[in-house]
Amino acid sequence: MRIKTLMVLGLLLSTPAFVACGPGGGQAASPSTAADEVILGADDEEERQGLKQARDDIDAEMIKEAAQKDAEIEKLRKENEALRARLAK
C-alpha cells in the first residue's frame, strides 16, 4: 500500500461518526470530505477509485453505527421516562 493510502485510511478512521452526526442521523447526502485532498492527490485513477471506495465503505459503516447508537439512546430515553413515571407515583 502506498503511504497516501495509509494516511487517508487513518484519517477516515479517526473521524468516523462525523458523517452520521447531526439532526437527521440518517444517510449522509454526500460523502465525507475528510479525505478529499488525499483522494485528489492520488497518483492515478486506480488509486483514486480505491480511496473513494474506502471512504464510501467507512462512511456507510459509520452511518450504520450511528443509527444503532441513536436507537439505543431512544430506548434508554423511553426506559428513563417509564422509571420516572413509576417513581412519581
Domains of the chain: which residue ranges? 3-88
**Crossing angle for the helix pair 3-14 and 45-88, nearest 10 degrees?**
10
Least confident of 22-36, 45-59, 64-78: 22-36
Burial class (CB in 10 A: 0-12, 13-18, 19+), 88: exposed
Comparing CA positions, the residue from 57, 61, 53, 55 lying closest to residue 9 is 55
What pLDDT was estimated at residue 5?
A: 63
**What average pLDDT does the segment 24-44 reach?**
81
| pLDDT band (50, 70, 90) for residue 6 | low
Q: Answer positive or negative: Cα dihedral of 3, 61, 31, 54.
A: positive
